[in-house]
Amino acid sequence: MDSPSLTAPSPAATPAETSADAPVLGTVAVVGLGTMGTGIADVLTRAGREVIGIDTDPDAARRAVTALETSTARAVRRERLTEAERRDALARFRTFPDLRAAAEADLVIEVVPEDYDTKCQVFAALDAVVKPGTILATGTNALSVTRLAADSDRPERVLGLHFFNPAPAMRLVEVVSSVLTAPEAVAAVTRLARELGKDPIAVGDRPGFVADGLLFGYLNQAAAMYESRYATREDIDAAMRLGCGLPMGPLALLDLIGIDTARTVLDAMYASSHDRLHAPAPVLRQLSDAGLNGRKSGRGFYTYAAPGSAETVPDAETPDPADGTAAARTVGSVGVVGSGTMAAGIAEVFVKAGYSVVLAARSAEKAGAAKGRVTKSLDRQVAKGRLTAEARDTALARLTTSGTLTALADVDLAVEAVAEQLDVKRELFAALDGICRDGAVLATTTSSLPVVACARATSRPRDVVGMHFFNPAPAMRLVEVVRTVLTSDEAHATVREVCGTLRKHPVDCGDRAGFIVNALLFPYLNNAVKMVQEHYASLDEIDAAMKLGGGYPMGPFELLDVVGLDVSLAIERGLHTEFRDPGLAPAPLLEHLVAAGCLGRKTGRGFREYARR
């Protein structure tokens, strides 16, 4: 249940928007038949609307007709349309080269390029030809809807209608009101969106609205991370796909959206917020000025087989697996230190991969309890048919436990998964330094503390490396391999080779706050909190926007409550301390909730309330 004090009033709940008296929009004109305009026309046509497609480029109009023919034929093959329904849909779509064709439209949706002057010209021409009651909608996600409305002869009939690409597949539609927009116009397009099978959310006029307002800040930071050479483009994209479950990595997504489009959106966001996190990364300007705008031009962050192609091809930045690889040390036995969920999960991963594992904890009882977690997990996998009983027994036979660290004297790799407190970890590494044999690699699973501080607690900092597993370790494929300025090539190579044996995907990163995933994820989560704090949108609207419009597996507030608000606040404070950027300062609302003991699911209340178990 939402906490009433945290949920901003939702514009979607106004009586006008739910009114049955809203005008029916039977004929819709779509101005601009590029990818987005064609997709919107497809959705409208299949939903029974008469659609007038308008584009001055006859080739664009022909491509739109061909695209609709192709998509409806595919729908027939998949039994989503009958042949008769397909013929009717195609008959409802007509194309014209002149805006005068919109004269009889009840709604006009413009999706011309993101240029204010171009859109103003379109709206001025439409003012002269459409009916008095016609609603004019802009598909912008960056420009001011209010400014476009103010320059129109009918400001009360102008609003934003932001579909997401690809329009036929993406369920989210943002309905954007200016201070001038009439409630009945909002009600009419909201009802239309629902009739199209979409999930509309009503938002106010600010650059990026909800979904892109959060998404583009994250994309910009990923571009800046790449530009700083902190991590490769491949590792940044893999980290966010595998670590967060996102459908695409940020740099690949920028190439899909278009570097020039991203730059335009970020320019508008920065002009509004003056937040340095929204100032376009210089690499975006460099690429767009060079005409390297992503897939549509054949090259952006990646190189593509041809303009418009989704197939990437090797280029000068494509990593060579054999380049600079040091000899890895042999690892046959592994020590895991800790007794919590993460320690048990990591031990499970190693024994299933064939390693002999010693699980050490502060007492024999705690170590035994951790082994019990491993056993229970393997039993569940057997019950679900994912593992044979023989494989379970073999894996468990590789696992021994101990209540003292001395049992790790002969391991080749020691992995600690103890409390996320620097003094605790430093004390442990000092102890491991005196116990583990020469040549053993010592790894920390920290997600937020400096790895080098652990390394300097030992007499062998060259053998210390970060090995950040993600929770739950048996299921998550990503491991961030963190090397400090003191880590040797051999220790680094050893951990990467071990990750391969574990069937994990290693990504390399340096020893700085957040590494890759948290450094990109938590500013996005913090910005979502700021949106609620500013009463721009509600928890439910923001969560829905990111799941439906961005393809995120969880909305930001769902995720914050799962991670824990105290954990999230600690990570955000670490990022702010490291980078000293005002935009990274934790949102006061998050700090207040933590101070009140509202830490998320584990306490029964965070941004939402949960049933007590």
Catalogue the active-site residues.
447, 468, 480, 518
Closest CA to 474 of 378, 336, 556: 378
Helix or strand (DSSP H, E) at 141:
none
* Sheet of 27-31, strands arranged across: 93-96, 50-54, 27-31, 107-110, 135-138, 158-163, 172-177, 199-204
Helix or strand (DSSP H, E) at 43:
helix 35-46
Q: How far is CA 60 from CA 31, 63, 91, 193, in A?
A: 11, 5, 18, 25
What are the residues facing 29 on neighbouring strands?
52, 108
Q: Per the omega criterion (within 30 degrees of 0), is the bond before 472 cis? A: yes
Q: How far is CA 104 from CA 29, 51, 131, 136, 540, in A?
A: 9, 11, 7, 13, 37
φ/ψ of residue 443, rounded to 5: -125, 140
Q: Is 522 exposed, middle or buried (0-12, 13-18, 19+ CB in 10 A)?
A: buried
Helix or strand (DSSP H, E) at 482:
strand 478-483
11, 177 contact by CB (below 8 A): yes
Pairwise CA distance, residues 523 & 560, whole Å? 12
DSSP 375-436: HHHHHHHHHTTSS-HHHHHHHHHTEEEESSGGGGTT-SEEEE---S-HHHHHHHHHHHHHHS
Q: What is the DSSP letter of 600?
A: B
Q: Locate tokens 């390693």: which residue?
A: 355
Between the two ends of the chain, the Cα-to-Cα distance in Å is 15
Pairwise CA distance, residues 222 & 266, whole Å? 13
- Name residues whose C-beta falls within 8 Å of residue 67's C-beta, 6 or more positions apart in sequence: 38, 42
